[in-house]
Amino acid sequence: MIKKITYMMVLLAALIGGCATPQYSNKQLLDLFDEKGFRTIETEQGVVVFLPEVYFEFDSSDLTRQAKEKLSEIGTILVDPRALDRNILVEGHTDSIGDDTYNEALSLNRAGAVANALEAQGVHDDRITRRGYGKKYPIAPNTKPDGRDNPEGRAQNRRVEIIVVESNVNNSPK
């Protein structure tokens, strides 16, 4: 209830301000996230925020203390009235160990953990879409060229990406 009241107050403040409150451009969002030390890129969907500190332990969807702190920083940007016209995609990923069904569920749980942390910062749930991709989109090799396990690469693949979507972009899966 308190989250809804907070969201309504922010929305009301934005409405009272009328059209005089300019919305963030992608460039402004990139600059804001970069200033806070996040690695970002602009894509067709919007601004992708990579969360290197939000790696997950093997077989876990629990956020670390450091991850919660970083998500708090992201939340402060996303609840700014100039960002309220943006939706947020939270995409979870896993390493290659485990079967597809299990990893898809785990990646969705990871996306849910990040989404819940953003909600705790005041980002309204209606703006957030959660997706779990399992091991489909690795960013690092899960094995070394000789076929041995690559623990460092697998750790990088246990991640969540946040995409701040432009309001006129289709949110269809990758």
- For 56-88, letters b (16+ CB in 10 Å) and e give beeeebebeeebbebbeebbebbbbbbbbebbb
Q: Give yes or no for a contact between 33 and 74, defined as CB atoms under 8 angstroms apart.
A: yes
Q: What is the mean pLDDT of the chain?
A: 87
- The whole-model pTM stands at 0.82
Going by the DSSP 8-state scheme, the letter that residue 127 receives in this structure is: G
Q: What is the CATH number of domain 2-165?
A: 3.30.1330.60
- Asked which of 44-58, 90-104, 125-139 is least confident by mean pLDDT, the reply is 44-58
What backbone phi and psi angles, to 5 degrees, belong to 88?
-125, 125
pLDDT confidence of residue 90:
98
Q: How far apart are the first and last CA of the chain?
A: 34
The order of strands in the sheet holding 87-92 is: 39-42, 46-50, 160-165, 87-92, 128-132
Residue 118 has pLDDT above 80, yes or no: yes
List pLDDT tens digits, range 28-63.
999 999 999 999 999 999 999 988 767 777 888 999
